[in-house]
Amino acid sequence: YFVKVAWAWTFWLLLPFIAVTTYQFAESKFLYGPTKSILMVLRRLSALLVGTAIWYVCTGLFMYIENLTGMCSTSGKLGEPRRLYATKQECHQDNGIWNGFDISGHCFLLSYCALMIVEEVAVLEGFSIDQNSKLHVVINGLFVSLCFLTMIWVFMFLCTAVYFHDFSQKLLGVLIGLSAWYGTYRFWYLKPFSPGLPLPNIPLSSKKYSYSR
C-alpha cells in the first residue's frame, strides 16, 4: 500500500525542496528580485505537475491495456451461463481472477520517482548557505528524507522484480519509466518553454562527475 501512493510521497517531499532551493539560488546566485525569484520557483514546481500528468496517463494506460487483453476466470456453478466481464474490477467483484497483460506500474513509478529525486537533489552540488541558519537545517532535513525515500523505492523495486509480474511486464514498466525521465530531464527541460532543469542548470557532464563522487 505504501508503494501504491509512491507519487504522493515523492510529490510532497520534492515540493518544499524544489521551492526552497530554487528561491535561494535565484536570489543569492543570480541576484533576482523577490518577484522574479517566485516566478522561477513556480516554473520549477511545474515539473511536479508534469510528473503528475505522466503518472496519471501511464497508470490509466496500463489499466486500459490490462482490461483490453484480459479474461476473467471464475468458479461458477455447472450449468450456469458464462458471464462476460468488461473490466478487472467487475471480475474481482465476483471473486474471479483476471488474466491480462499487466504492465508493472510499480516498476514504472519507482524507477521514475527515483530518477526524478536524483535529478532534483543534484542541485546541492553548487549550493552554499550558512550552516548555522534555520534554512540549512530545513534543506538538510528534506535532503535526508529524499535520500531515505529513494532507498525505500529501490528496495521496493527489487521486491517487485523478484516477486511480482513476469519479465516482459517488468521490463516494459521500467522502459516506460526511463523514457519518461529521459523525455523530460534530458530533452524537454532543456528547451526554453519548459519547467527547466534545477538551478543552476548543471551540464550533463558535470552531473556525471557529481554522481561519480
Looking at the annotation, which residues are catalytic?
106, 165
For residues 110 and 48, give the distance between their C-alpha atoms in angstroms, rounded to a whole number. 15
Distance CA 189, CA 14 (A): 17
β partners of residue 99:
71
Cα torsion angle, 116, 118, 124, 125, sign: negative
Residue type, 151: M
